[in-house]
Structures are given as structure tokens and as C-alpha cells.
Amino acid sequence: MDGVSVVVVAPGQGSQTPGFLEPWIAVPEYAEHLAALSAAAGVDLVTHGTVSDADTIRDTAVAQPLIVAASLVALGGILNGSDARRGALAGIAGHSVGELAAAAGAGIVSEHDAMRLVAARGAAMADAAGRARTGMSAVVGGDEADLLAKLDEHGLHPANFNGGGQIVVAGELTGLAALAADPPAGARVIPLQVAGAFHTRWMGSAVDELRAVAAGVEIHDPTLTIWTNRTGRPVTSGAEYVDLLVGQVASPVRWDLTMESFAALGVTGLVELAPAGALVGLAKRGLKGVPTVAVKTPDDLVAARDLIDQDGAA
């Protein structure tokens, strides 16, 4: 397509690492922004993003607000108050919990309400995860049809269709162990350090709890193009997007379809918000040749702005 097509993407759970917010806290404006988001969520994100250990920030109730807050701080740093730069974006999307950062970035909900929602989401999913011995594993390679047949055999479910030959599966730990012992031909099964079977029927109670909180949030139609994880397609109604976001807690993430939408759009660049890395990695396999920027620290903001501004001037 002619012109510019830079998209911003917000990562999901598992992208956090101990101390990853230290470089951001060192900059007063970002520290202030993070403190406001922390207050909205009712979670001490400054402590968790700087000194908490890996086990602490793996807790779903901590990890989810931490990731969304980091993405919002990074987005604020990229845009830096520039309406022109925001207007140059082709759109925004989030992977799993990253959909809440995307919702705020697109103007569907305020940042304050996004943090309220993610705090409720994380707590509800942590509670649901505590009701059964479940987990998740990434399956890389192999034939998708063979894998889906194996999942049925072991009582497992696909949770994230990530594209690039990667599908995350979820279910009871016994089923995941059986899959790892007898994987589909050509596939590797990699256990993930998460506390439950997210994006499956085991999260039904979390959907109900999040829907109740979402009912009290002010919702607007998006002012940026935004894609849903449910189908990978753009959504123009803010109310519909929030409804899909709530239900998505117990349904698979179709990031593969989201990347297909990016490809159909003819994206010319992709910027991943903090804590970045995972989605850029998927893009390098699913959107080959498209320039990417992973915003991990404030030092990466210049490259992100340059990518957007350069394409914006095209």
C-alpha cells in the first residue's frame, strides 16, 4: 500500500523480567507516570518492577498490571505528547493482557480504568488458576492438525495461536506432561512458567468477575485502528472491543490472525512496547522483512519515534 503503516503492539504475560523497570524509574517523568498507574491498580508496581524476584512477578495478580503499566509508560514516551506522531500510526493491538494497554492507547478506556481492569483481571485469573492444577506449554514446529488431535487425546486446549509455527496449549498438568512425553512429529514442547490454563474453560469464573468490573467503566469508540485477539480483525466499536476483551480471558488468542491482518494492511514497521521482545520475535517469522523496534528501555524510544516519524513523512 502507499504511505505509512506502522503499528504499535503491546505484549502479554511472560514478557516481564526482574528489574526491567529500573531504567524507566531513573527518568522522573516516567517514574511519575508509573506511580500514577500503580495507584490506579492498587499494586506497588515500582517495587515489583525494580526489586521483586522472578517468582513474585510471575504471580498473575502482579504480572498483569506490571506489564500493562510498562506498556503505557513506553507508549507515552514514544508519542511524547505529539498528536502528529499518534496520527501517523496505522493502529495498535495487544497480545492477551496487552489488549488492555491497546484499549487505553486507542482511547477506548482511560489509563486509570485500564489499570483498574487489569488489576481485576489479574486477581480473577489468579483465583481461577488456584482452583485446579493447570498450566501452559509452548509447542514449536510440527503439523497443526496433528497437534490438535494430540490435545484432544490428552484433554488439553489451544490457548495462543501465535503464528510462526508456535501454538501455546493449556490444561491439567498431567495432560501437559503426557504431551511432552509424546509430542507430535517434529514438534518441541516447552513448559511455560505461568500459574494456570489461561484462555481456556478453566478461566470461566474470571470472565464473570471481569465483566462485572467492566460494566462500571466509561467506554468510547477507538480513535486509532485496533485489532481484536478473538478474530484478528479491526473493531470500530469500543463496547464491542471491551466485550471481546472480557470474553477473551477464556478463549484462544489468535495472534496469528492479527499478524495476517497486519500483512494484508501492508505494514511498513512494527513497534513493540515494554517489556518488549516476544512479539518482535514472532513478527520476524510471521512478517518477514518488516522493520521492528523493541522498546525495552528509554534508550529505545528514539528508534521507535524515528520509525514512526520517517514513515509518517513518506
Q: How far apart are the first and last CA of the chain?
A: 12
d(CA 240, CA 256): 21
Cβ 110 vs Cβ 37: under 8 Å: no
Per DSSP, 293 falls in state E
Cβ 249 vs Cβ 203: under 8 Å: yes
Q: For residue 151, which of 121, 172, 132, 126 has the smallest C-alpha distance?
A: 172
Question: In the 3-class helix/strand/coil scheme, how is 148-160 assigned residue by residue?
Answer: HHHHHHHCCEEEE
d(CA 151, CA 252): 14
Q: Is residue 96 annotated as part of the catalytic site, yes or no?
A: yes
Active-site entry in 154, 157, 199, 261: 199
Bridge partners (DSSP) of residue 269 are 6
Q: Is residue 220 annotated as part of the catalytic site, yes or no?
A: no
Q: Which three three-digit cell numbers place residue 60? A: 498473575
Q: Which CA distances in Å does 88 have to 61, 82, 204?
A: 34, 10, 38
Question: Taking the alpha carbons of 31, 279, 95, 223 in that order, is the dihedral positive or negative?
Answer: positive
Active-site entry in 96, 137, 157, 261: 96
| Catalytic center residues | 96, 199
